[in-house]
Amino acid sequence: MCCTAIFAQGAKFKMLALYTTTVESDHVDFAKDAIKYFTDLAAKDGFAFEATTNWKNLNDDNLKNYHLIIWLNDFPQNEEQRAAFVKYMDRGGAWIGFHVAGYNDNYTKWSWFVGFLGSAVFYNNSWPPLPAKLVVDDTKHPVTQGIPAHFVSPINEWYGWKPSPRLNKNIKVLVTLDPANYPLGKKDIIREGDIPVVWTNTKYKMLYINMGHGDQIFTSDTQNKLFENAVLWLGRR
């Protein structure tokens, strides 16, 4: 087990990030960078932050201590952890999932989570990781305030979804892959489609963020501001 924590005096809220060190190396690199970013952000914005590789912390007794849960590069693998997370969200908890945390396919066998993401199921991806032009759908939302209507996101592996979460009435898409990118990729190519990259299911306090592959994700001040907005929006709600 690995764990890091920062406790700000008079913290506004408590955030717990879960990650794994035995997954794809680019996802581990992202998690390490994310922990540094969120540690610095907690000191700056006055909230309490913890990070752990112990997914057994997804239990009823522990989750009630946190206002916001973040999955950096993995997701719960057993029914006990999944049930505890569902209960946490149903009771008003908040969640942010990055990149592979939202991955689901025929082997996932977690129908609640598919609905939680707005019925979005992983369909395809771009490879190798590349930067991409993004379109901000709603510049007035708390997550995208101060973010320009168009910006370039650093190198990332981009996921496509079928059906698009935008088709779900409960989903509010905040950022979308700009069709001007197509064809995107060299080995695995995304050639077309509506591909949201940041969205929220309005039935919950949640946000999915497609970024999260490799060690370049936190190199953009614009994108970092979006991440900060997301944490403060959900942590303070």
Express each pLDDT in 102-138 by its tens digit. 999 888 889 999 999 999 999 999 999 999 999 999 9
Radius of gyration of the CA atoms of the chain, in A: 17
Question: The domain spanning residue 83 has which CATH number?
Answer: 3.40.50.880
Gap between the Cα atoms of 197 and 136, Å rounded = 10
- 211: tokens are 């970024």
Gap between the Cα atoms of 198 and 13, Å rounded = 23
Low-confidence ranges of the chain (pLDDT < 70): 1-11
| pLDDT confidence of residue 123 | 96
- 52: tokens are 């752990």
| pLDDT confidence of residue 10 | 58
Counting the structural domains of the chain, the total is 1
Gap between the Cα atoms of 222 and 167, Å rounded = 28
Residue-number span of the structural domain to which 218 is assigned: 3-236
| pLDDT confidence of residue 106 | 80
**Percent of the chain with pLDDT strictly greater than 70:** 95
Tell me phi and psi for residue 87, to 5 degrees. -60, -40
| pLDDT confidence of residue 1 | 46
Gap between the Cα atoms of 11 and 16, Å rounded = 13
pTM (two decimals)? 0.95
